[in-house]
Amino acid sequence: MTTASSELLPGYRVDPETGAWCTLPWPTDPEEKLAIVRSSLAPALIAWAEGRTERPGLIHYLTGQPWRFTDGQKRFLMLWYWVDDDGRFVYRRGVKRGAKGTGKDPFAATIGNMELAGPVELYDVDDKTGRPIGRPRGLPLVQISSNSESQSRDLLRIMNAMWSMDARAFYRLDCGVTRTVMVDSFGRVEVNTLSEKTNEGDPVTCSLLNETHHMHTDQGHAIAAQARRNVAKSPASVQARSLEFTNAHRLGQESVAEKSYEAWQVQQAPKYSNPRDILYDSIEAPPTADMMTEEGRLAGLRAAYMDAKWSDLLRMSREMLDNTTSVGDSIRYYFNGLAADEDSWVDPANFDQLADASNPLQAGQQIALFLDCSKSEDATALVGCRLRDFYVQQLGCWAKPKGWNDKRDGRWLVPRDQVDDAVRAAKATYKVEWFGVDPGPAKDDEGVALYWADQIAEWATLFRPRLKVWATPGAKGSPVLYDMRLSASGGLARNYEFTKTAELVQSWIDDEGPDEVPFRWDGSPQLRSHVHAAKNRPNQWGISLGKVTRDSLQLVDLAVAMVGAVVGARAVIASGKVKIRTGARSGGGWRAVVPS
């Protein structure tokens, strides 16, 4: 991917009529569409839910009329219940993300009711047509989880309202506030009690996770993880799955919705080789929609609500104008876009536009290298920046493994030998013209020496013969040490230099536009996550970047190392001591780049 003007983020496409950014992988080729329809349980399920079979279907929870799906909901169901040649559902879990008022709750309620009483379980294959045949589950258990029990009860209330009195009698349903039971078969829908221990191991056949953009506490993540574990252990004949319904998440909040989005983005990477088994459905206003004009707002709303024809777009446009509605909330809730917090270091959408996986660092190319060191709690990050065009690439990142418990597993420390290997590999692969190491304040357990002191001494010896531009110049300087501590000699000057470079990179990303700057990055999901989490941190020299709080688990070290690598690249160019080469030969030699 390059820029938004020429290519989308992985997994996205543009709707030709509204300009909406869409993620549902519904094909455009008629034969491909037909192949999915013929291999899906959805046609029979849609007929059942809309009351076009001998068994009672569902009704609209507000009007009492027979339930009808939108075109977009039908396409989602075709993919969600798509069966492969081995009799397995193609998608293991899913996410339905949409703007406020696009019908996520009623759609979730419909799927929950289908999973309770509809023909959702693969039973056989028609010998003549080859189409899969579904049947109702023998002992369904549909579990609803949200950020609170009241939210889950609200969804169950809609589910119950979709059963007519005739349907309740036919299926022998006892509809309650916290559970609905099929009296004869003991199948049920229940509200998750939010107790991880109580619900662990439940034989769940369908897990509905609602409003996952609000699930950002430890408890929320624990409940989501438990829900996925419960469906994962289901028998092969059941194929239980989890499905999320959410508004656009707030970037950097580390919600369940954000983590699911990131997991889906990882699967969409061009070189991803494992099954792409997360179904992610989002319809978003194009990033170019102008929120400052009514014409622009309505155009964005028409895109975000293209599958919700009942929506009052003019009313929503006026709500966006209300001075109590923040820009971020307008983007998230009405445009279904991923908005930055007001104190975000850069706009995440602008940063994403500058990703380019097609032009990575090549062996022998001139780079500046920066290593942001930690000991145990933060990450240790290694980033390279190509001198000729300021292209940055993640070369290593070491952080405490997810789920690691120091009391249970022993104290985790950054593996210095692995970091050393990565540094030496970078030296052997690229033409490193500058190398900066910020050691951080962590001390070694065995004494007062910095945790990284021995490695820095070895790297200084290793790089000294090669580097014309030192990280810390002068007779008492160091080829590689770039100590950002204010107490260190020269620390004030280095902080000034880093802050001004952070402001420059920020302006490249947010102010100048993708066609006006050479800066690009490699599309690494980790680097993306760290930059998205970075916050503005004002200091006496300007605006730098840092974590949301000192103890936050939202890491930003790769973002710091990225800026540090640009510091090094600019230092080399400004020094005049190194001839900067392009990647193409001219007249038998290398053509020099004249810095602007």
Neighbours of 51 (CB within 10 A): 17
Mean pLDDT of all residues in 246-256: 87
Identify the residue whose tokens are 């780079």.
Answer: 367
Q: Check if the beta carbon of residue 140 is closer than 8 Å to that of residue 188.
A: yes
For the ranges 247-261, 530-544, 567-581, the maximum mean pLDDT occurs at: 567-581
What count of residues does the chain have? 596
| Over residues 89-99, mean pLDDT | 97
pLDDT in tens, 303-354: 999 999 999 999 999 999 888 887 778 889 999 988 666 678 998 888 988 9
Res 253 pLDDT > 60: yes
pLDDT number for residue 391: 96
More confident residue, 310 or 10: 310
Model confidence at 588: pLDDT above 70: no
Over residues 57-79, mean pLDDT: 97
pLDDT of residue 6: 33
* Beta strand pairing call for 21-22 and 13-14: antiparallel
Which 8-state DSSP code applies to residue 378?
S
Q: Are 374 and 440 in contact (CB under 8 A)?
A: yes
Residue with the larger pLDDT of the pair 549 and 138: 138
Least confident of 100-114, 115-129, 185-199, 503-517: 185-199
Helices 149-161 and 104-117 meet at what angle, rounded to 10?
70
In this model, does residue 378 exceed pLDDT 60? Answer: yes
What's the confidence (pLDDT) of residue 323? 81
CA distance 259 to 35: 32
Q: Give the pLDDT score at 586.
A: 30
Determine the pLDDT at residue 9.
78
pLDDT at 3 over 50: no
Residue 447 binned pLDDT confidence (cut-offs 50, 70, 90): very low
If you average pLDDT over residues 208-236, what whole number do you get? Answer: 91
Indicate whether this model's pTM tops 0.75.
no
Quick one: which of 87, 92, 88, 185 has its CA closest to 140?
Answer: 185
> Distance between terminal CA atoms of the chain?
26
pLDDT at 590: 30
Q: What is the mean pLDDT of the chain?
A: 89
CB under 8 Å to 368, separation ≥6 — which residues?
A: 384, 385, 387, 432, 433, 434, 435, 436, 565, 566, 567, 568, 569, 571, 572
pLDDT for 271 = 81
DSSP symbol at 332: I
CA 440, CA 431: separation in Å to the nearest integer?
26
Cα angle 423, 426, 428 (rounded to 5 degrees) comes to 110
User: Is 204 a residue whose pLDDT tops 60?
Assistant: yes
The per-residue pLDDT for 569 is 97
Q: What is the pLDDT of residue 27?
A: 96
C-alpha to C-alpha distance for 108 and 570, rounded to whole angstroms: 52
Residue ranges and CATH numbers for the domains of the chain are 13-334 (3.40.50.300), 349-592 (3.30.420.240)
Task: Quote the CA–CA distance of 81 and 279 in Å, as a whole number.
Answer: 11
pLDDT of residue 4: 31
Please identify which residue in the block is written with the tokens 């789920």. 403
Cβ-count burial of 234 within 10 angstroms (0-12 exposed, 13-18 middle, 19+ buried)? middle
Does 546 score more than 70 pLDDT? yes
Residues 518-542, mean pLDDT to the nearest whole number = 89
Least confident among 261-275, 394-408, 521-535, 557-571: 394-408
Q: How many whole angstroms separate alpha carbon 99 and alpha carbon 308?
A: 10
- For residue 513, pLDDT beyond 80: no
Identify the band that residue 201 occupies on the pLDDT scale cut at 50, 70 and 90: low
Strand 366-372, strand 380-386: pairing:
antiparallel
| Between 137 and 515, residue with greater pLDDT | 137
Alpha-carbon distance of 457 to 480, in angstroms, equals 9
Per-range mean pLDDT, top range of 255-264, 394-403, 511-520: 255-264
Least confident of 152-156, 310-314, 418-422, 512-516: 512-516
- 35-56 pLDDT, tens digit per residue, is 999 999 999 999 999 999 999 9
Q: Which of 186, 187, 183 is nearest to 140 (CA)?
A: 187
pLDDT at 416: 93
116-148: pLDDT as tens digits? 999 999 999 998 888 999 999 999 999 999 988
d(CA 193, CA 138): 24
- Give the relative orientation of helices 104-117 and 71-80 as an angle to the nearest 10 degrees: 40
- Confidence (pLDDT) at 340: 63
Amino acid at position 321, single letter? L
